Amino acid sequence: MTYDIRDARHADLPAIRDIYNDAVLRTTAIWNEQTVDLGNRQAWFSARQSQGYPVLVVVDEEDNVLGYASFGDWRPFDGFRHTVEHSVYVRNDQCGNGLGSLLMTALIERARACGKHVMVAAIESANAASIRLHERTGFITTGQMPQVGTKFGRWLDLTFMQLILNPGALPPAVDKE
């Protein structure tokens, strides 16, 4: 099978919503317990676009959305403006086909193209597949936070991973006007 990575379009938002909601209902990848409607995904998509951040989709030959990926600001303070946190989700029936790796590779390149320096991942610690995916793409574990979340009646641990996108890059010069 042939897959393509492309920028998401408004027409892709129902499929993105469905993938997101499936993860909400079935997994601990998303720590929300309520599903979202199309308006929620439209607002999310518009916010990403207004920030100049990508929303990528992986599609099959018939242009069916099989997964999506995006990144956004990690924290809302100026000092963190070169760091982004990302999300990658693949449709449940497509897991194990390498689509997460395709999306991650494309997303990392987009982050570099945006001039970002660090990409952060916050992963539920029992999500071994996601941790392996991140390790394969060069991420390292930088922290573990036990019992910081809850879902499905149990405490969830959080693993932080990061990738320095441009090792050796100097920080931007400070403007002294």
Percentage above 90 pLDDT, the chain: 92
Sorted by where each starts, the structural domains of the chain and their CATH numbers stand as 4-118 (3.40.630.30)
Closest C-alpha to 75, from 85, 67, 88, 65 = 85
Considering only 23-27, 53-57, 130-134, 173-177, which range has the smallest mean pLDDT? 173-177
Closest C-alpha to 140, from 170, 164, 162 = 162
pLDDT at 175 (0 to 100): 64
Largest CA distance in the chain: 56
What's this model's pTM, rounded to 2 decimal places? 0.94
Instruction: List Cα–Cα distances, 154 to 23, 105, 123, 143, 147, in angstroms.
Output: 17, 33, 16, 21, 9
pLDDT at 177 (0 to 100): 61
Segment 4-11 shows an average pLDDT of 98
| Mean pLDDT of the chain, nearest integer | 95
Cα separation, 106 vs 66, in Å, equals 15
Q: Integer distance in angstroms from the first to the last C-alpha of the chain?
A: 56
